[in-house]
Amino acid sequence: MKFIQYIKDSFDELGNNVTWISKEDAQKTTVTVAVFTILFALAVAGIDYVFQTGLDNFFTMFKTN
Give residue limits of the domains in the chain. 21-65
Contacts of 29 (CB under 8 A, 6+ apart): 21
CA distance between the termini of the chain:
75
Q: Can you give the pTM of this predicted structure?
A: 0.64
SS3 label, residue 38: helix
DSSP 8-state code for residue 55: H
Query: What does each of the 65 residues of the chain score in pLDDT, given as a tens digit?
Result: 799 999 999 999 998 998 989 999 999 999 999 999 999 999 999 999 999 999 999 999 888 65
CA dihedral sign, ordered 40, 30, 13, 7: negative
